[in-house]
A and B are shown apart, each in its own frame.
Chain A
Amino acid sequence: MTPTPDQPTPPGQDPLRPHTFDGIQEYDKRLPNWWLMTLYGAIIFWAGYWFYYERAHLGLSNAAAVQQQMAVIEAERLASTPTLDDASLWKMSRNPIFVEAGRATFNTTCASCHTEKLTGAIGPNLVDHLWIHGGRPTEIYATVTNGVLVKGMPSWGPVLGPRKITEAVAYILSYHHEGEPIEVQAAWVPHAPQ
C-alpha cells in the first residue's frame, strides 16, 4: 500500500464536490487509514472467531465451559470439606474469633427469619432446647448446609460454603452448653418478630 499523507490538508485547498445543498458543501476526503484498519480488523476478527467457535468447534460452548468450571469447584469442595464432629464444633463455639465471625454471618444471612436475638420469627427459635431437625452440633451443621426446603429453610451450603457455615453454627452453639437437654419439637409456628 502506498503511504499517502494522512495530515489534513489546510482547509480551502481540498477539492469540493460540485453540488451544494441549502448552502452545505462537501469535501471528498479519502478515508483515514487507521479508520479502515479498525473496520478491516473487526471483520477479520469476526471471521477468525466464527471459525474457532462455530466451524472448527475448537472452543467450548457456554454450557460445556461452565459445567467444566463447576466440576473443578465441586472437586475442590470435596477435597476441602472439613471432617467435623460434635466435639470440635463445641470447641469452636467457645472460641471468640469463630463466634464473632459467625455472628456477622448470622446477622446478615440468618437473622431475617431467626432474628438477631435468635428467638425466632419466620424461622424457629434457636436458643431454647427444642429442635425440629436435631440439636446436636453436626445435625445443626447439616440442617444449615442442606436446608429443609419444604419448611422454607434454604440450602446454604452452595452459597456460604463450609467455613462460614461452621462459624455460624459455632455462633448458635455459643448460646448453648454441651450436655444440655435436647427436646424434639414437631413444628414451628411462625410469628411476627417481637
Chain B
Amino acid sequence: MPDQKITIEYNDRIVRQFLIATVIWGLVGMLVGLLIAAQLNYWQLNFATPWLTWGRIRPLHTNAVIFAFVGNMMFAGVYYSTQRLVKARLASDFLSNLHFWGWQLIIVAAAITLPLGYTRGKEYAELIWPINIAVVLIWVVFAVNFFWTLARRREPALYVALWFYIATIVTVAMLYIVNHLSIPTGLLHSYPIFSGVQDALVQWWYGHNAVAFFLTTPILGIMYYFLPKAAERPVYSYRLSVVHFWSLVFVYIWAGPHHLLNTALPGWLQNLGMTFSLMLWAPSWGGMLNGLLTLRGAWHKLRTDPVLKFFAAAVTFYGMATFEGPLLSIKSVNALAHYTDWIIGHVHVGTLGWNGFMAAGMIYWLLPRLWNKPLYSTALANLHFWIGTVGILLYVAAMWTSGITQGLMLNATTEHGTVLAYPNFLDTLNTIRPMMLMRVIGGGLYLAGWVLLAYNFYRTVRGAQPVNGTIEVYEEAPAPGTRLSLGATFFSAPTVFAVLAVGFATMWMLGSDLVSTAGLAGAVACLIACVALLPSRGGAWNGWYEKLLLNALPFTLLTFFAVVAGGLIQIIPTMIVQQAQNVEDRIQVPYTPLELAGRDLYVREGCYLCHSQMIRTLVPDILRYGDYSRLGESIYDHPFQWGSKRNGPDLARVGGKYPNIWHLRHLEDPRAISPGSNMPTYPWLLANNLDASVLPAKIKVQRMLGVPYGPLSAQQIFDQVDDQAKGIAKDLRASGAYIAPEKEVVALIAYLQTLGKSVPVPPKTNAAP
C-alpha cells in the first residue's frame, strides 16, 4: 500500500486560550490569597462585609488557584503536548471550545457563589450542586476529546506523559463524583450523602488525591514533555518512568487518611494512611529524579535560559514537598504539625514551587512558539524567577517557623505535665504574628513575579501573529500483531502477580486469623515466584508492557484498577459497618430545627476553615478542649465539620462553656471579649433575619439520609424554631442585649451551645436489630 503524505495543522488556538486564562486566573487566585493572608494579621481587612470575609473567600482562593489557575495550565499543556505526542490534531474543535468556555463559565459561577456564601462546606469541594454537575459534564467533554484524539493517533505507542494524563482524567472523575454525592434541598443547597467519619474519610480520600491527580500527575506529564524539549536532552530513564508511574498511582490513593491522624478515625485506617504515605516517598522522588537527571549535560543552559531555571527549581520544590509529605504523615510529627501553619507551608511548597514554576516555565517556552515571536524580555523572565524564588523561600520559612512555634506552644505543659503552659489560645496566635506578616511579604513577592510574567506575556503577543504548529505525516497502515486483547491484558504475568500480591497483602492486613495467615503465605509465595521468574521471564514481561503501550484502552483500564483498589479497601468497610457500631461510647443528639439552621450558617460563613470540631486523642488537646471526640459525636453531621486548620480554638465541646451573651458579644466584636483575636466581625448576623422557610425541605432530606427526625409538619418545625429562639432572646435580654428572636445570630448561638452535648451510650450488646 503506498504511503500518503499529508500535512496536519494542530489546534493551537485552544492552547493559546487556555494559556491566557491561566495567566488571568493566576493573578486573581494569588491576589485573593494575598488578601486572606493579610486578613489574618489585620482583621480590619475583612471590612465587616459578608462577601469579603475570610471564611467565604478562603474557598475562593483555593478553588481559584487549583481549578482555575492550575486547571487551565494543565489543559493548555495537555492539549499542546498530546497533539504532538500522537501526531494528530485534537479530535473535535467543537469539544475543545466547549471545554474551554464551559470551564471558564464554571470558574465565574464559583467566583460569584462562594463570596455569597453558597457552599457545600467541604474543602476544595465547596461548589454547590448545580456547578458540580457542570464540572462533571465538562470533565467528560475533556475526556472524550482526549481519548478520541488518542484513538486517532498516528503514533502507535503511548509516551510516558500520556500515561500521566490518562491517570489524571480517570481518577479525578472518580474522586470528584464520589465526594460530591449529595441530595439537594433546593436550587442552591444540598446535604452530602455521607456523614461524620464516612464523610471525613471520603473527603480526605478526595482532598488528598485532588492534590495527587490534579496538582501532581498532570504536571508530571507536562514535565515529561516540556522539560526534555526545553533541555534538548533525552529523558533519564524509561525504566524509572514505568516503576514510578505505577507505584505512584497505586500508592497515592491509600494515603488519604493521613489528614485524619490522631482523630476519631478508626486506628487501622490511620495506620494505613501513615504507612502508605511513607511508601509514597520513593515513587514521588522517582519523578523528581527523572526530571532533574534529564538535565544532565544541560546544566550550563540554566545560566541563560529562564525556562530551564523554572523547571529545575519546580522539580526541586516537588522533591522537597514530597519528602515533607511522608514526614508529616508520621503520627508523632503530625501531632505537632497538624492544624498549624506548617501544613500551609507544605502545601505552598507544592503549589507555588512546583505548580506555579512549572506553569511559568511552560508559558515562557510556549509563548515564542505559539505567537512566532521571541519572548519580549528574557531579563524580565529571569527577574520573575528570582523574585518568585525569594518569595517562596520567605513564605515557606515563615510558615515552618510559625507552625512549629505554635504547635510547640499549644502542646507545652507545665507543673509536671498537668497543666497547659499557654492556656490562652491567643498567646500562641499573637506569638506567630510576625511570621504571618512575613508570609504576606513572601506571597506578595511571588505575586509581583507573576505580574511580570503577565506583562511579558502581553508585550510578547501584542501585535504578534498567532501561529499553529503543523507536521507532515505518512498515513501508515497499522502494523500487524500489535493488538493486545483484554484477556491478554489481564491474564498476563505482571497483572496477575500484581493483583495476587495486593489481594494477599490485603488478606494479611484485614482478614481474621486464618485468612490472614493464608494471605501472608500467599504474599510470600508471590514474592518468591516473582523474584525466581524475573531472570528468565523478565524479557517477556517487558515485551508485554511494550505491547500494552500500543493499546490505549487496556492501558486505561489497568490504570483505573490500580487507582480504584485503595479507595475500595478503605471506604467500603466503613460503609458496611453499621453506623450504630461506629459510635464508640457517645452519640450525638439530632439538632433541633433552629440548631440545624444555625449549623447551616456556620457552614455558610466558613467557620470550619478556622475552627476544628475534633479533639484528638492527644493529651494537650484534651487538656485544652476537653475529653477526646468520639465517632458517635458527629454521626449525624452532613457534612462533617472536623476541620483541618486551627486559626482559632477547637469548638467540639464549646457548647455550654460560655453564656449566650458571651457568644453574642463575641460574634459582634470578637476583640471585646478576646483582646488580640484576629477573628472577623459578623455584624450582618445580628441584622439579618433567619430564613426558616427552607427548614422543612432540609429536615426532609436529613431524614432521608438517616438522621432520626420524627414526623414533623412544617408548622411544628416553625413552632419549635420560634420557641427555642424566643428562649435564647429572652436570656439575652436578661443579660442586657436586645436581639429579636428572628435574627440569624440567635440560630448560630443555638448551634454553638449544642456542640459537644452528646449522650453516653451503654456498651454495645450485639443484639439482633
List chain A positions with a Cβ less than 8 A from chain B. Answer: 8, 11-12, 16-17, 19, 21-32, 35-36, 38-39, 42-43, 45-46, 49-50, 53-55, 61-63, 65-66, 69-70, 72-73, 76-77, 80, 108-109, 112-113, 122, 149, 151-152, 154, 158-164, 189-193
Contacts and interface: CB of A to CB of B under 8 A. Distances in A.
A159 B423 contact: yes
Contact of A11 (B233, B271, B417, B420): B233
A45 B238 contact: no
Contacts of B642: none
Contacts of A22: 81, 84-85, 87, 159, 225, 229
B297 interface: yes
Given A73-B619, A80-B418, A8 B285 contact: no
Contacts of B734: 189
B466 to A, nearest CB: 20
Contacts of A43: 279
Contacts of B247: 39
Interface string B733-751: 0111000000000000000
Interface of B: 81, 84-85, 87, 155, 157, 159-160, 225, 228-229, 233-241, 243, 247, 262, 267-268, 270-271, 274-276, 278-279, 281-283, 285-286, 289, 293, 296-297, 326, 414-420, 423-424, 426-427, 508-509, 516, 584, 617-619, 622-624, 626, 628, 656-662, 665, 672-675, 734-736
A190 B270 CA distance: 46
A24 B225 contact: yes
Contacts, number: 184
29 contacts: A8-B293, A11-B297, A21-B155, A21-B159, A22-B87, A22-B229, A24-B159, A24-B228, A26-B238, A27-B235, A29-B236, A29-B293, A38-B281, A42-B278, A42-B282, A43-B279, A45-B278, A55-B516, A63-B628, A70-B622, A73-B418, A109-B423, A149-B657, A154-B658, A163-B415, A164-B423, A189-B734, A189-B736, A190-B735
Contacts of A109: 423-424
Contacts of A189: 734-736
A25 B658 CA distance: 67
Contact of B279 (A25, A42, A108, A161): A42
Contacts of B665: 122, 192
Nearest to B280: A42
Nearest to B282: A39
A17 B238 contact: yes
Contacts of A16: 234
Contacts of A73: 417-418, 619, 623
B424 A21 contact: no
B424 A108 contact: yes
Contacts of B617: 62-63, 65-66
A70 B660 CA distance: 31
Given A11-B296, A19-B157, A22-B84, A46 B279 contact: yes
A61 to B, nearest CB: 5
A149 B658 CA distance: 8
B528 to A, nearest CB: 15
Contacts of B674: 112
Contacts of A192: 665, 736
A162 B414 CA distance: 11
A164 B234 contact: no
Contacts of B423: 109, 159-160, 164
A85 to B, nearest CB: 21
Nearest to B233: A11
Contacts of A50: 271, 275, 509
A161 B418 contact: yes
A80 B239 contact: no
Contacts of A31: 237, 239-240, 243
Given A108-B427, A112-B674, A160 B735 contact: no
Contact of B235 (A25, A149, A151): A25
Given A27-B237, A29-B240, A49-B271, A66 B278 contact: no
B675 A29 contact: no
In the complex, which of the residues B278, B282, B417, B420 has the most CB atoms of chain A within 10 Å of its own CB atom?
Answer: B282
A173 B357 CA distance: 62
A149 B656 contact: yes
A80 B240 CA distance: 61
Contacts of A65: 617
Contacts of B736: 189-192
Nearest to A43: B279
B635 to A, nearest CB: 17
In the complex, which of the residues B225, B427, B508, B659 has the most CB atoms of chain A within 10 Å of its own CB atom?
Answer: B659
A25 B415 CA distance: 65
A137 to B, nearest CB: 21
Given A11-B296, A31-B240, A76-B418, A152 B278 contact: no
Contacts of A27: 234-238
Contacts of B289: 32, 35
Contacts of A193: 672
Contact of B278 (A46, A80, A190): A46
A153 B613 CA distance: 21
Given A22-B84, A122-B662, A112 B675 contact: yes
A46 B237 contact: no
B271 A28 contact: no
In the complex, which of the residues A30, A122, A159 has the most CB atoms of chain B within 10 Å of its own CB atom?
Answer: A122
A164 B418 CA distance: 12
In the complex, which of the residues A8, A31, A62 has the most CB atoms of chain B within 10 Å of its own CB atom?
Answer: A62
Contacts of B735: 122, 189-191
A9 to B, nearest CB: 10
Contacts of B228: 24-25
In the complex, which of the residues A26, A29, A73, A149 has the most CB atoms of chain B within 10 Å of its own CB atom?
Answer: A26
Contacts of B658: 152, 154
Contacts of A11: 233, 296-297
Nearest to B261: A62
B293 A54 contact: no
A63 B672 CA distance: 38
Nearest to A25: B234
B731 to A, nearest CB: 10
A22 B656 CA distance: 67
A193 B668 CA distance: 14
A54 B656 CA distance: 38
In the complex, which of the residues A77, A158, A160, A191 has the most CB atoms of chain B within 10 Å of its own CB atom?
Answer: A158
A122 B279 contact: no
B83 to A, nearest CB: 9
In the complex, which of the residues B160, B297, B584, B665 has the most CB atoms of chain A within 10 Å of its own CB atom?
Answer: B665
A66 B656 contact: no
B282 A38 contact: yes
Contacts of A26: 160, 234-235, 237-238, 241
Nearest to B279: A42
A42 to B, nearest CB: 4
**Closest 4 A/B residue pairs (Cβ):** A161-B419, A152-B659, A39-B282, A11-B297
Nearest to B509: A50
Contact of B296 (A8, A28, A36, A72): A8
A84 B247 CA distance: 64
A24 to B, nearest CB: 5
A49 to B, nearest CB: 5
Contact of A66 (B234, B628, B673): B628
B516 to A, nearest CB: 7
A109 B628 CA distance: 23
A162 to B, nearest CB: 8
Contact of A24 (B229, B276, B326): B229
Contacts of B414: 161
A173 to B, nearest CB: 21
A124 to B, nearest CB: 12
Contacts of A32: 289
Given A21-B155, A63-B584, 12 more contacts: A11-B297, A19-B157, A23-B229, A29-B240, A35-B286, A39-B282, A53-B271, A66-B617, A80-B415, A122-B659, A161-B420, A189-B734
